[in-house]
Amino acid sequence: GNSVTQMEGPVTLSEEAFLTINCTYTATGYPSLFWYVQYPGEGLQLLLKATKADDKGSNKGFEATYRKETTSFHLEKGSVQVSDSAVYFCALSQNTGFQKLVFGTGTRLLVSP
């Protein structure tokens, strides 16, 4: 079945450091890939997405590239801010059938001033 594996957290960084959160997936065919972010006490919101191989999703300085050959969708940001502290979820959805949204376990990011 479909699954998503994320690096365990927490990831602790100083402000302006470079961020990478690893995500790999298992799926048949060509799923769509997503990163969602959850701020404390809130629901999830979409950060970025990519719908086909080699696509790059980007938003608010975050980027992730859909790598079919390595089945990966790693999240990166060149310079993190304290306000980026949150939990980040990688997710996938098949583009055929019912297309359930499957999530990874989440990675907590803590950014200190």
Partner 1 sequence: DAGITQSPRHKVTETGTPVTLRCHQTENHRYMYWYRQDPGHGLRLIHYSYGVKDTDKGEVSDGYSVSRSKTEDFLLTLESATSSQTSVYFCAIRPGTGNTEAFFGQGTRLTVV
Looking up tokens 């998503």 gives: 4
| 56-84 per-residue burial string, b: 16 or more CB within 10 A, e: under 16 | ebeeeebbbbbbeeebbbbbebeebeeeb
Does 34 bind partner 1 (CB under 8 A)? Our answer is: yes
Identify the residue among 28, 69, 98, 113 touching partner 1 (CB under 8 A).
98
Whole-angstrom distance, CA of residue 106 vs CA of residue 113:
23
Residues 41, 44, 46, 49, CA torsion sign: positive
**Options 11-19, 30-38, 58-66, 76-84: segment touching partner 1 (CB under 8 A):** 30-38
Instruction: Pick between residue 83 and residue 105 the one whose CB is nearest to partner 1.
Output: 105
Determine, following the binding rule CB under 8 A, whether residue 53 of this chain makes contact with partner 1.
no
Residue 95 interacts with partner 1 (CB under 8 A)?
yes
Q: Is 103 in the site for partner 1 (CB under 8 A)?
A: yes
Interface ranges with partner 1 (CB under 8 A): 6, 32, 34, 36, 42-46, 49, 51, 89, 93-96, 98-106
